Amino acid sequence: MPDISPARRAAFRILMAVERGSSHADDLLRGDAVNSLPLADRNLATTLVLGVLRWQLVLDRQLKNHLARPGAKLDREVLIALRLGAFQLLYLDRIPAHAAIGESVELVKQTGHQFASRMVNAVLRKLAGVPHSNSLEDSSAQSHPAWLVDRWIAHYGREAACGLCRHGQTQPVLSLRIQDLGAELELSRAGIELAPGGLLTAARTVVAGDVTATEAFRAGRIRIQDEGSQLIAELAACAGEKTNQKIKGIVDACAAPGGKTLILAKRHPRVHLVAYEASPQRLAQMRDRLAAHADQIECRLGDATKLEEDSVFNLALADVPCSGTGTLGRNPEIRHRVQPEDFPRHAERQRAILQATMRALRPGGRAVYSTCSLEPEENEQVVAEVLARSSGVRPLSLEKAIESLFEKGILTESAAEALRTCLTPEGALRLLPGALHTDGFFIALLEKVAR
């Protein structure tokens, strides 16, 4: 039986699971099946999976042009093998055409589609012989659903929408949260090359090396976390520092996997923190991750729309579940799943979470509301509706929190200047993907009015 490289076999299995809608590529790429591969195979498998998902719409159009029956419905195994082959031919210059074609054909054979293997061979050979451009400018917009691109043009303008599409086709930088100088030295000794973060002094960007293979990573002394995600927790921690009210309790309403929770705990080390999670599995994973902080952080299973507390906490973070359209570079399969009707559905739950979070605050308490969505229905409109329904809640600008983070040395000077330009007229922050080397986020600050 002809051999199939471990990387292509792993990529095929992951893409099949994603196509079935049963799994997320990011989770599978961090799983044991991929982590057990040699580094070169692990990197190729990741490139293949994310590349196929990013360029899938373009790949499918190219393949359709070379099918004898363009309207024919292909079996999943055949379609995935064709996409894998086409991506390598069109976008990976260092992969020999015979390897891309031959192993795609063999994948089809070994999944029980012997008859279709001849068609796969013919289509990919035709594709290999046609001149093509792999320019990002040529097809980045075509790699996103047209209705989504139209929305972004309407909301942000054509130039910004094109920038969002370009960012969606590139691999985001790998950002780390460093626990201390000792952890950074450990990485250096392990051959990991780092650069300063773009926003936060505690963040680092990985230049070279496999962070996940280090003891510092396995022990939790460093963690992978987008700088925008880190910034949300820093802003929340800073927003709670009010001279007229001592912090007595913090609630993280949607806490898993716990990265933001850890930042809140570090910034308020003597404050009890309750971290809610609705999924038992994710709660168990978060408890393991936060085990060293169990004396300060209490992990609870609970639906954030039904928080039991009333006027208990001084500070809250509601980093709510959302469509994730701000993370398409990191999670490219989202573009193939999201639909326009998802936004109002998400918004209904987001409003309920924010309202429950505000009820849980004491008078004078503050909450940060955040999403990794670019869609107004999940962002400004959620905040506006909660404000309209709640007479005892008012919005606050994040400008003072930005200034405070800079004065404390948490935020770099250039980042503080850049973030001020990202403030909305209401004082919320809108981070568009790529503008500040982060994913896309929306962050708003609310206060429960003391009566």
At 397 the pLDDT is: 97
Instruction: Give the pLDDT confidence score for residue 255 in this predicted structure.
Output: 96
| C-alpha distances out from residue 243 to 238, 240, 387, 390, 451, Å | 12, 9, 25, 25, 18
Is the model's pLDDT at 61 over the cut of 80?
yes
Residue 440 within any structural domain of the chain: yes
Whats the size of the chain, residue-wise?
Answer: 451
291 lies in which domain range?
227-448
Q: Which of 133, 163, 184 delimits the end of a domain?
A: 133
Query: Within a domain: residue 288?
Result: yes
The verdict on 70 and 207 lying in the same domain is: no
Q: What is the pLDDT of residue 137?
A: 54
In angstroms, the CA 365 to CA 361 distance is: 5
Domain CATH code at residue 110: 1.10.940.10
pLDDT for position 9 = 95
What is the structure's pLDDT at 76? 94
In this prediction, residue 133 carries a pLDDT of: 60
CATH number at residue 193: 3.30.70
Distance separating alpha carbons of residues 393 and 363, to the nearest angstrom = 9
Residue 323 has pLDDT above 80, yes or no: yes
Is the same domain home to 70 and 40? Answer: yes
In the predicted structure, residue 244 carries a pLDDT above the cut 70: no
Mean pLDDT of 387-404: 95
Confidence at residue 243, expressed as pLDDT on a 0 to 100 scale: 40
Burial group, residue 328, by CB count within 10 angstroms (0-12, 13-18, 19+)? buried
Helix and strand numbers, DSSP H then E, in the chain: 20, 12
Say if 74 falls within a structural domain: yes
| Pairing state between β 297-301 and 193-196 | unpaired
Mean pLDDT of 408-416: 95
388 and 265 inside one domain: yes
Asked if the model's pLDDT at residue 346 lies above 60, the reply is yes
Residue 89 host element (H or E): helix 76-91
Query: Is residue 167 situated within a structural domain?
Result: no
Instruction: Let me know whether 185 and 297 are in one domain.
Output: no
What pLDDT was estimated at residue 437?
Answer: 83
- Judged against a pLDDT cut of 90, whether residue 166 lies above it is answered with yes
Which band of pLDDT confidence, cut at 50, 70 and 90, is reported for residue 129?
confident
Phi, psi of 342 (to 5 degrees): -70, -30
The mean pLDDT value for 48-77 works out to 92
User: Dihedral through CA 96, CA 102, CA 107, CA 110, nearest 10?
Assistant: -150
Domain count, the chain: 3
pLDDT given for residue 2 in this prediction: 59
Look at residue 1 in the predicted model and tell me its pLDDT. 44
- Average confidence score pLDDT of the chain: 92
Looking at the fold, whether 109 and 211 belong to one and the same domain comes out as: no
Give the closest residue to 250 by CA, choosing from 262, 396, 259. Answer: 262
Give the global pTM: 0.94
Collapsing DSSP to helix, strand or coil, 35 comes out as helix
Q: Tell me the average pLDDT across 365-380.
A: 98
pLDDT score for 138: 57
Mean pLDDT of 395-400: 96
Q: What is the pLDDT of residues 183-204, one digit of tens each?
A: 899 999 999 999 999 999 999 9
How confident is the model over 318-341, as a mean pLDDT? 96
